[in-house]
Each structure stands twice: as structure tokens, then as C-alpha cells.
Amino acid sequence: MVPITFEEAVGYFGLWLFVLGVCCSFIVGLYYLADLVEEHFKTTKKVIHWTILGTLGVLLLLWLLEGVEPLTMLPSLGAQLGYWRVVARRFPFLSVRDPTLLGAGALTVWAHLAWMHYHLTTFHHLMWVRGGVRGGEGEHGRPRAADRSGGHPFIRTLPVLVTAPPS
């Protein structure tokens, strides 16, 4: 086993301290969000309602414009409709034993699996494009072919990734 130096130990300690701080920030943020939901539950109910309607609209557009298979869409639609029913009936008081909520949760898991299968079996043309450089730098800020070995240290061209269709 290779012993670590004091500098590495301080680095690892700092990393774990950072992770602990991020976790505590999430906990405090969720606690604050729960307090806001409790205080303004009518507004929260409207936000959830419109979010569900927006998600249903996006799913409908995916089906109409992109031709996503119905077996991929059905669990997503069912989960959203289940959540809509739970929110419409008894919103601030949710029960973990509610069969509609449990069914919507199961449909959400099924929908995630269906979407993963869809994205793994469907060809998507993927290409990385180099982002633009600020206009004030002009040609002096853009890397050229001759600069690839020793160009500007802060500006890098992104690799172009073109995937081939599965054969």
C-alpha cells in the first residue's frame, strides 16, 4: 500500500468536507422548500398542476413530432396522470400508502426504464460544436490549425464526435 502525503490527506479531507457541506446545503434547502410548500400550498398546488400539464404537452409533442413508440410514452403518461389525480384529490396531505401514489411511482420507474431502452436502441446524431469566442477578441482569440500544438492555453477546440448508425 502506498502511503499518502500530508498534502494529499489535506486534499482528501477538504474533498469530504466539501461533500458534507453540499449535503447539508441540500438538506437545508429541502427543509426550506418544505416550509414554503406548507405555507403557500395553494400556489404550490397550481405550480405542480401546470408542471404536470406542461409535461403532458411535451410528451404529446414527442409522440406527434418525433414518433416515439407508444410503449415508451404510456408509462410516462400514466405516471403524470396518477400524480395529477393525487394532487387534485388531497394535495397537502399525501399518504405513502395511497394506491394511486404507489402506482404512479411504479409507473415512473417503468417510464425511466422505457426511456433508457428507447435512447439505447434509437440512433441519435450527436455532434460537438465549438462554442463561439467573444466578439471583441476577433481573429486573435480563435485557434488556428497552426496553433493546435501551442495555441492559447485557455481556448481549446472541442473534438467533433459523429456517431455512425448501428449496423
Instruction: Return the pLDDT at 36.
Output: 81
Query: What cell numbers appear for 51 in the block?
Result: 408542471
User: Cell 486573435 maps to which residue?
Assistant: 140
Instruction: Return the pLDDT at 155.
Output: 47
Which residues in the chain show pLDDT less than 50? Answer: 147, 151-155, 157-158
Instruction: Return the pLDDT at 154.
Output: 47
Q: How many CA atoms lie within 13 A of 14 on its CB side?
A: 6
83's CB contacts (< 8 A; 6+ apart) are: 48, 52, 101, 104
Chain centroid offset of residue 56 CA: 17
Contact 101, 95 (CB under 8 A): yes
Q: Phi then psi for 162, rounded to 5 degrees?
A: -120, 120
pTM over 0.85: no
| H/E stretch holding 6 | helix 6-39
Q: Identify the burial level of 29 via C-beta atoms within 10 angstroms of its C-beta, where 0-12 means exposed, 13-18 middle and 19 or more buried.
A: exposed
